[in-house]
Each structure stands twice: as structure tokens, then as C-alpha cells.
Structure 1
Amino acid sequence: MRYHVRLSDEERKTLLKIVSRGSAPAKTIMHANILLAADENGTGGRKSEVEIAALFHVHPQTVHTIRNQYSEHGLQAALGRKKRETPPVEPKITGEVEAKIIALSCSSPPSGRSRWTLRLLADKAVELQYFDSISYVAVGRLLKKNELKPHLRKCWCIPPEQNAAFVACMEDVLDLYQQQYCRLYPVVCMDEKPYQLLGENRTPIPMKAGRPECQDGEYVRNGTCSIFVFTEPLAGWRHVTVCERRTRVDWANQVRELLEVYYPKAKKIRLVMDNLNTHTTASLYEAFTPDVARSLAKRLEIHYTPKHGSWLNIAEIELSVMSKQCLERRISSINFLRLELSEWETARNKKQKGVDWQFTTDDARTKLKRLYPQLRVNSVIVIRCKSF
């Protein structure tokens, strides 16, 4: 059966515009060229399907199909594939089922498992008859869409809600950070970190092209030590000391060195640190004579960070940087550790500027409102006295 293509003037203009612009899909442009070549009203005369197919390097059946589409369904059907009329498929995961899977992923994992996996969630969803069957890939897409990551767990200091003691210490430290720099009354932050000394049981294999350094999993334990860090945020200064233990006497010796060696002219040092059992002026009396201890204590103004609020101590930033840049390896002896930390301290004091602390008391009262106790305003009777 021969199908006739007789284009109207409007249809011919439409096809010429598609061909000349070249912005349509390649398939649409090809169909437009075939229709223009097959037009019986055109100036080029009638061409057979074989001639048109050879002209555009297609099969004659393709030309026949395009002519058929134009004759039966019109121009738009001939330019593109006709849409299949299929009934809509209902989604397998409805909003109700999605909410159930989200709640399941936020619940405690099964006994004997530390966390939920995608396969565990898929199997549990089938067990609870949410579906007849579901792939763990579909569960993964659902969790990704809702930004849920049950395989991750972050360690964080979670402060108690509505805690007056936490708020009091927090605002005290935040107000201190907002004060202007004063050479005679410097603000110094202090923190400490335990460190395990580890030696190599076998010599590591050096790195080569295409192969990283190979380190044996077996190591030698050489004891532990304690690292003390002092930093003055506004001056961009820090000092690191390694001690064999973490006792009251060790802390007292570090404070005395801070006062007499590094800040001999300061009238008073405002010291920010965690509220540990060794971080008290009583430690000074255990280490020194009463007159020395008292003279040191008079030059200290101690500001404690709240419990579960160590993020308020700027020395924590220095400890974190120090751990990443210097301590993430095996160090076998305390002497070598002291040498390495001394080099790190010197380099960082030369390059690193002061810390620009941005979090203020006003920010805390807005963003950490849940930490503040609810005010209970008692009814007050106001008596107005008329003056005569």
C-alpha cells in the first residue's frame, strides 16, 4: 500500500524551520528531511522510498514507516515516536511505607548487630510485611533521599538540657573570649592529652611507585605519657610539653613554668581549662611551699569550661591539629616525641596566626536556647505609696 505525503504550506514551513535551525534532536531532523523529500506537492518531484532511503542512508522500511505515520496520525506523530498508552504504575514505596522504613532505620539494630545495614533493613521490611519483596538498593535510595546514614555514628559531647551550671560556665568563657587583647592580662587556654608510645616490631617497607608504605599490624608497647598544651588565641602562641604522668604535681609544674618563664611580666593570667581533679590551686600547694604556691595562685584567674562543653576550650583546636599533623603514627620513645612536638610547635608558631572566635553569648542564647533553664516568674505584689 502506498501512503501519500502532501504537505501544506504551514507544515512545510514547520519542517524547514526544524531543518534549518538544527536545534531539534537528530532523529526529528532526519524525519523532517524524509517528509520534505517525500512531499508530492514539492518541487523536486515524486521520489520512491528506495531513492529517499539512499539519499539519507536509512532503510526503506524507515521511510515507509514515516510516511505511514504521517498519513494515519499527522505531522507530529511522523516527527517523533508515538507515546505508548500504558496505564500508570502505582509506586511500590508509598509515603506511609517510607515513613515506616525511616522509623525502622532510626530504631535500635537487631540483637547481635551494632548497626543497621541496607540488607538488614530490606529483610526486616519484608519480615514486617511492608512489601512482598524489596531490594536493598531501593532501601539505599530511600535513605539517601531523606539524608539518613544509619551506618555512621559521630562521637559528640551532648550537654544536658536546661542546666544552669552548664550555662553559667559557658557564658563566663564566651564573655572572656570577647574581651580585648591585654598584654598584662592574657587569656591562655590549657588542655592535656594522653598518648601511647608504640614501637615497630618489624621494619616497615618503604613506599614505592604504585604501592603505599606497608606497616606491620604487630607493634611494641612502650608505655604512655601525657601531653600538655597551652595556647594564647589572640597572640597566636602555643607551647607543648610532654610528661611521663598526669598528676597534680605535673600540672603545678606546668603552671609555674607558664607564669615564670613565658609570662613573667603579666599581672594575672586568665586561664581557661577543663574542670579536672588536678586543675585546681590546691595542686600548687601539693607541689610547692605555701609562699610559692600562694604567689602563683594570686597571678591566676581560672575559668572552667562546663562538663560536656570541652568544645569551648580553644586548646582543643590545637590538640586536634597537633594529632593530625604530628601524632598520627607510631612513636616509640618519649624523647623522640618531645623532639617532634618541639619542631611542630616552632613551625606552627611561625605560620599560624591567632584564633578568631566568632561564637558569642548572644549566639548561645539564640542557638542553644534549650540549654537554658525556664524562668519561673513568681507573682509580685507591687504597693504604690503616695508621697505627701
Structure 2
Amino acid sequence: MVLSDAERRTLQGWARRRRTAQGLALRARIVLACAEGRSNIAVAARLGVNRGTVTKWRARFLADRLDGLSDEPRPGVPRTITDAQVEEVVVRTLEETPEGATHWSKRELAKRVGVSPTSVLRIWRAFGLQPWRTEDFKISPDPLLIDKIRDVVGLYLAPPANAAVFAVDEKPQIQALERTAPVLPMVPGTPERRSFDYIRHGTVDLFAALNTATGKVIGRLSAQHRAVDFRDFLDEIDRQTASGLAVHVICDNLSAHKAPVVHRWLVDHPRFHLHFTPTYSSWINQVERWFAELERRCLERGVFCSL
């Protein structure tokens, strides 16, 4: 077997380069060893492979040179869906709706395009399409939207010196629900199960203030969430915050937060400063994330016999 200089350089590169696929690197070493005049048995013993492997790649190289060392197409069912059909599935999903429906089902679209429902689902997955899903959004009409966002985000990223920043809100109407039958624990292959029916043992409101620097939460339970209840919660924050610190409170635009009783309280407590989020923008208040974790980890699946 005789190699050209270009072939030898290419084979040596494949054999040495770390990023080369191991199969291709082995084939390159086989051909290089054969080019030294060694027999198939000697090459097999040197490289730790069987003689049939050496015979195969020697023959492939002699027939097709470097191209012969590439993998041949693997056997299997030939592709039955054309690129045009894939494009049609994607375009129809994005730009059309079927008659009498708001979105395509895989069976309806498969019938229209002439492919199987399974193929439609595979194409949707490949392109990240989920026509059965929808999400809601709300654009804040607040004329001071940008200014308020900058104010709140500024408190998160660069809080004032000698100050504590609290993200504050209420979680109203937390229900104490007792299931009418014992909860059945999870077992392999079956999730936890609980009865649909329940007994409600009342409701309670939770005020929470998340310290954005430490993550500590100040909480207070209340039967209601009126302006006087919010004022009382501000008293609680005042008691639990070091006297030498200014206090910045981030809260939403609930009328109770702007009531006269709250204004009078703020006049008497000049170290407190209220910062209001834009309307319909609770996502910017970090305590909402804490409420979501409380709901997910404690309340949603809990069983409570009393408040």
C-alpha cells in the first residue's frame, strides 16, 4: 500500500488529533500501519483489533482512498416525510387555524398535510411548537411605568447606605382545608392521592415583608387586610428593624396602602419611605416569589384542621 504525502498527513492528523472520533482515528492508524508493509495479522496484533477489521479497512482504503474510511449510511427505514411537508406543518401551525377551532390538533393537521399524527408531533417538538398552550399577559397602563421600575430595581441592585429594603405584600384568604379522607401516600408508579372533598376551617390573611438583603421575612397574620391592618404591620416592621436604619418599603397600589391612616402613620415615622410598583406589575415585587414558594411547598398540598 502506497500513500501520497497529502494522504499521509491527513491520516496522521486523524490519528493524533484529540477531537477526532475514536473510530476514525483507529481506521487511520490501521491504514498507516498497513502502509509500513505489515501484514493484516501483524497490524491486528499491534493495534489490538481482529484481523477482519484490518482487512475491511485496508480494502475500503484501496477502493475509495480517504473517503472509504467514512461511515457508510446506516440501514433503516428510509425517510418518508419531505422537507416541503415539514415546512407546511410549521407554516400552517404558525399562520393558520382550522375551520371551527382556535388551533390545530395533531390529527387535524396530519390529515391536512398528509402525514401521520406522530410525525406532526415530532415536527412540533423539533421546532418548539405547542399550539395547545396559551399564556396571558397584561400591559401596565401606568404613565410612570419606567420611572417606577427604575426606582424599585434600583433599590434591589443599589440600596441606600444605612437602610433596610423590604418587599411587602399581603396574601389574602389563605384557606385551612382538611380533607375528608386520609391522604394516600405516594408509592412507586402512583403519585400521592387525596380526596376531592374538603372541610374548610376558615381563612386568614398573611402580611409579609421580605428583607431584600438578608432574605429574612417578617410575617403577621390578620383576619382582614384593611388600611389599619397594613398600618399595624408597618408597626411590626418598625419594631423588628434596627432604630438607626432608614426603611424602604416596596408595595403595590392597593388602596389600603395609600389610605389617610397610612399617610398619618408615615408622617409620624419619617424613617419609612414607601415605593409603589407600577400598576399590574406584581412580578417586580420579590415577596411575590416568596409567596409562590410558600404556596407550592407548604399550602397547596397541606392538610390543616384549624387556623
TM-score of the two chains, using structure 1 as the length reference: 0.55
Q: Measure the CA separation in 1 of the matches of 2:221 and 2:189.
A: 37
Give the 3 Å change call, closer, same or farther, for CA 306–134 of structure 1 in structure 2: same
Q: Alpha-carbon deviations, 1:4-47, whole Å to 9, x = none?
A: xxxxx9898575576445588986446689xxxxxxxxxxxxxx
Aligned pairs for 1:81-230 within 5 A: 92-95=81-84, 97-106=85-94, 116-123=104-111, 126=112, 131=113, 133-154=114-135, 157-159=137-139, 164-180=143-159, 182-183=161-162, 185-194=163-172, 195-206=174-185, 213-230=192-209
Amino acid at match of 1:105: T
Cα distance, 1:151 vs. partner? 3.9
**Cα drift, residue 253 of structure 1:** 2.0
Residue number in structure 2 paired with 1:279? 257
1:142 and 1:208 map into 2 onto residues whose CA distance is: 35
Compared with structure 1, are the counterparts of its residues 18 and 115 closer, same or farther at alpha carbon in structure 2 (3 Å cutoff)?
farther
State the shift of 1:135 in Å.
1.2
- The 3-state SS of whatever aligns with 1:230 is strand
Name the larger-Rg structure: 1
Per the alignment, do residues 180 and 212 of structure 1 end up closer, same or farther by CA in structure 2, a change over 3 Å counting?
closer
Moved more, 308-317 or 14-23: 14-23
| Residue in structure 2 matched with residue 372 of structure 1 by the alignment | none
- 1:195-215 Cα offsets, whole Å, 9 max, x none, are 233211112235567765432
Q: CA deviation at 1:104?
A: 2.9
**Separation of aligned partners in 1, 2:207 and 2:97:** 40
SS at match of 1:241: strand
1:244 positional shift? 2.4
Partners of 2:144 and 2:122 in 1: how far apart?
44
- Over 3 Å counting, the alpha-carbon distance change for 1:90 and 1:269 in structure 2 is closer
Counterparts of 1:267 and 1:236 in 2: how far apart (Å)? 17
Separation in 2, partners of 1:222, 1:247 = 22
* Post-superposition CA distance 1:100-131 (Å, at most 9, x none): 422332357657767644333323xx2xxxx4
Please report the RMSD computed on the Cα atoms of aligned residues, expressed in angstroms: 4.2
Greater shift in the superposed pair: 319-328 or 14-23: 14-23
**In structure 2, distance between residues paired with 1:119 and 1:17:** 60
Q: Which runs of 5+ in 2 are unaligned?
A: 1-33
Q: What are the equivalent positions in structure 2 for 1:330-341 lying under 5 Å apart?
A: 330-333=302-305, 335=307
Question: What is residue 270 of structure 1 aligned with on the other side?
Answer: 248
Residue 267 and residue 205 in structure 1: after superposition, are their counterparts in 2 closer, same or farther (change >3 A)?
closer
* Kept in 2: contact 1:19–1:32 (CA 8 A): no
Is 2:276 aligned against 1:295? no
Query: For the structure 1 residues 284 and 116, does the alpha-carbon distance in structure 2 shift closer, same or farther, using more than 3 Å as the test?
Result: same
Superposed, which structure 2 residues align to 1:15-34 within 5 Å? 15=40, 19-20=44-45, 28-29=53-54
1:167 Cα deviation after fit: 0.7
Q: Which amino acid aligns with 1:121?
A: L
Tell me: CA distance 1:269–1:204, structure 2 relative to 1, closer, same or farther (3 Å): same
> SS of 1:235's equivalent?
coil
Give the letter aligned to residue 94 of structure 1.
D
Deviation, structure 1 residue 190: 0.3
CA distance in 1, matches of 2:61, 2:274: 87
Change (3 A) 1:94 1:191: same
Q: Any stretches of 5+ residues in structure 1 without a counterpart?
A: 1-8, 34-69, 336-388
Q: Is the 8 A contact 1:231 1:315 kept in 2?
A: yes
**Are 1:318 and 2:290 an aligned pair?**
yes
Checking the alignment, whether the CA contact within 8 Å between 1:272 and 1:304 is kept in structure 2 is: yes
User: What is the alpha-carbon distance in structure 2 between the residues aligned to residue 145 and residue 274 of structure 1?
Assistant: 41
What residue identity is the alignment partner of 2:203? T
Matching residue of 1:258: 237
Structure 2 distance, partners of 1:246, 1:26, is: 84
Q: Is the 8 A contact 2:218 2:237 kept in 1?
A: no
Cα distance 1:12–1:110, how it changes in 2: closer, same or farther (>3 A)? same
- Counterparts of 1:254 and 1:169, CA distance in 2: 23
Secondary structure of the 1:275 match is coil
- Asked whether the equivalents of residues 204 and 213 of structure 1 are also in contact (C-alpha less than 8 Å), the reply is yes
* Residue 251 to residue 209, structure 1, CA distance change in 2 (3 Å): same
> In 1, Cα distance between the equivalents of 2:278 and 2:61?
78
| 1:36-75 alignment runs, 5 A limit | none
Deviation at residue 295 of structure 1 after TM alignment: 1.4
| 1:18–1:32 Cα contact (<8 Å) kept | no
- How big is each residue's C-alpha offset from its partner over 1:286-313, in whole Å with a ceiling of 9 and x where there is no partner? xxxx6x57414x4431111112432221
Identity, % of aligned pairs?
21
